[in-house]
């Protein structure tokens, strides 16, 4: 393996593909980085990636971050520790953005990003009481007090 970092050797130019977000922004991503997305990988294999790939489900803001993620993870020679720290930083965003990451990662089939984002959401939920979960995700309880009491009884086994 070449000892150089992500920059390619002078003789082979980096192959880029263009992605187009739902709001019309275009982003360039190295083909190597794009291979992390199974969706993009199959498109590249079938030679459908020469023109800009439209991604109608993903906004520009999210797509920019996804490209950043894939590019970072395609780098060779990055040590695991610093990558983990980078990942932790990457997912310290607000909840709507985190959910958007999940949806984008699911659509583009990027297992590492999907796992990262899902784990992040799970960590937010773990150990929290239902009320705290209400606050975190801004969701409203739709239960009557009687229903809540019944639920508490139903789930009591988990808290003994």
The reply to whether 122 sits near other proteins by the rule CB under 8 A is: yes
Q: What length is written for the chain?
A: 160
For the window 64-103, what string marks contact with other proteins as x by the rule CB under 8 A? Answer: -------------------------------xx--x--xx
The reply to whether 153 sits near other proteins by the rule CB under 8 A is: no
Alpha helices (H) along 14-141: 31-34, 38-45, 60-74, 80-90, 95-108, 111-125, 130-137
CB of 8 to other proteins, least distance (A): 35
| Dist. CA 141–CA 71, nearest whole Å | 40
CB of 131 to other proteins, least distance (A): 8
The reply to whether 56 sits near other proteins by the rule CB under 8 A is: no
Contact 108, 40 (CB under 8 A): yes
User: Which residues does residue 53 pair with via DSSP β-bridges, in sequence order?
Assistant: 19
The interface region with other proteins, picked from 1-9, 11-19, 33-41, 114-122 by CB under 8 A, is: 114-122
What is the three-class DSSP state of 61?
A: helix
The interface region with other proteins, picked from 25-33, 59-67, 74-82, 145-153 by CB under 8 A, is: 145-153
**Residue with the two structure tokens 């953005």:** 97
The residue among 47 and 142 lying less far from other proteins, judged by its C-beta, is 142
Q: Contacts with other proteins in 10-49 (CB under 8 A)?
A: none
The residue among 76 and 151 lying less far from other proteins, judged by its C-beta, is 151
In our burial notation (b when 16+ CB lie closer than 10 A, e otherwise), range 26-63 reads ebebbebbbebbeebbebbeeeebeeebebeebebebb
Q: Which residues bind other proteins (CB under 8 A)?
A: 95-96, 99, 102-103, 106, 114, 118-119, 121-123, 125-130, 133-134, 137-144, 148, 151-152, 155, 157-160
């Amino acid at each position: 393996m070449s000892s150089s970092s992500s920059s390619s050797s002078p003789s082979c130019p980096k192959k880029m593909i263009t992605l187009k977000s739902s709001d019309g922004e275009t982003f360039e991503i190295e083909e190597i980085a794009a291979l992390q997305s199974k969706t993009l990988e199959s498109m590249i294999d079938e030679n459908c990636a020469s023109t800009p790939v439209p991604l109608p489900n993903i906004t520009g803001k999210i797509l920019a971050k996804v490209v950043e993620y894939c590019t970072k993870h395609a780098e060779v020679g990055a040590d695991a520790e610093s990558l983990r720290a980078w990942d932790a930083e990457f997912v310290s965003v607000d909840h709507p953005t985190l959910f958007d990451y999940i949806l984008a990662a699911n659509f583009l089939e990027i297992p590492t990003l999907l796992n990262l984002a899902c784990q992040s959401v799970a960590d937010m939920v773990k150990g929290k009481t239902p009320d705290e979960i209400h606050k975190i995700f801004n969701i409203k309880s739709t239960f009557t007090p009687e229903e809540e009491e019944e639920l508490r009884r139903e789930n009591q086994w988990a808290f003994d």
